[in-house]
């Protein structure tokens, strides 16, 4: 798989991870700040995901990053996945996709 195909497959996987308090996947919520891929062995890629949470006090602070790591790690073309939690810039509702705002009623 090429880099773009792996990135799209990672995004598809991340879209299966939902914030338990908000009925929208974390990609559409705007919690994923970056997906960096570097070449690894055998044409695979190492993935570095930068993400945030809706709040530093998020009750899912331990589970969500691990779910993102696990779903990324099992993506075809990924050799190794790492997830980094970042707080800058802070998350706000403006980072949500239009679809997410419609689904949650945040206009």
SS3 86: coil
The pLDDT score that the predictor gives to residue 67 is: 97
The pLDDT score that the predictor gives to residue 60 is: 81
The pLDDT score that the predictor gives to residue 55 is: 87
Q: Does domain 3-90 have CATH number 3.40.50.150?
A: no
Please tell me the pTM assigned to this model.
Answer: 0.91
Q: Is the pLDDT of residue 106 over 70?
A: no
The pLDDT score that the predictor gives to residue 15 is: 97
The pLDDT score that the predictor gives to residue 1 is: 85
The pLDDT score that the predictor gives to residue 104 is: 78
Sequence spans of domains, the chain: 3-90
């Amino acid at each position: 798989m090429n880099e773009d195909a792996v990135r799209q497959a990672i995004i598809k996987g991340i879209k299966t991870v939902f914030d338990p308090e908000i009925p929208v996947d974390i990609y559409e919520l705007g919690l994923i700040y970056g997906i960096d891929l570097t070449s690894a062995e055998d044409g695979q890629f190492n993935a570095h995901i930068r993400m945030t949470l809706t709040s530093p006090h998020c009750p899912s602070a331990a589970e969500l990053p691990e779910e993102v790591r696990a779903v990324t790690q099992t993506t075809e073309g990924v050799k190794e996945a790492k997830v980094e939690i970042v707080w800058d810039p802070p998350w706000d509702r403006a980072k949500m996709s239009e679809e997410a705002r419609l689904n949650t009623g945040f206009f």
